[in-house]
Amino acid sequence: MFRFSLWLDHLLGAIRLEKQNVVKQAPMNFLKDSENNLLDVISHAFTPEEVFTFLLRCSEKVDTYTKDNVEKGKGVRGYYKERILTYYGKNSFDYKESWMDQLVKELEDGDTV
């Protein structure tokens, strides 16, 4: 569940960083309004890896983190960026996907998170 929450935040966070104003429909479009959407994938999956494969495939299309130009701590997007970077203990979004995997691995290995 922890891994899923990190990846879901990664994808929904890209929407948060990309748009100046996020209306409630924006995340819902990702969750349910596309041809192959997350809720359908979850309901038809036999294993958690099927869901993660879908999330990783969606993540490949997200370049918001690599072209990020939001100023930390300024405005709603800046506060979001600041909180995410603080949570992971980083200064920029470089290699964000690997941070999530590292955090999950540390938890699984019994390291303090």
Residue 78 inside a domain? The answer is: yes
**Rounded to whole angstroms, how far apart are CA atoms 110 and 24?**
37
Give the residue among 13, 4, 29 at the shortest CA–CA distance from 101: 4
Q: Where are the alpha helices (DSSP H) in 19-62?
A: 25-32, 38-44, 48-60
- Of the given ranges (9-18, 26-35, 40-49), which has the lowest mean pLDDT? 26-35
List pLDDT tens digits, range 88-109.
888 888 888 888 888 888 888 8
| 79-to-3, 25, 57, 61, 66 alpha-carbon distances in Å | 23, 21, 27, 24, 18
Overall domain count for the chain: 1
Helix (H) or strand (E) holding 95: none
List pLDDT tens digits, range 60-84.
667 777 777 788 888 888 888 899 9
Helix, strand, coil % in the chain, rounded to nearest 5: 65, 0, 35
Residue 113 inside a domain? The answer is: no
Residue 91 inside a domain? The answer is: yes
Residue 64 inside a domain? The answer is: yes
Residue 87 inside a domain? The answer is: yes
Judge if pTM exceeds 0.75.
Answer: no
Residue 24 inside a domain? The answer is: yes
Residue 21 inside a domain? The answer is: yes
Range(s) of the domain holding residue 103: 2-108
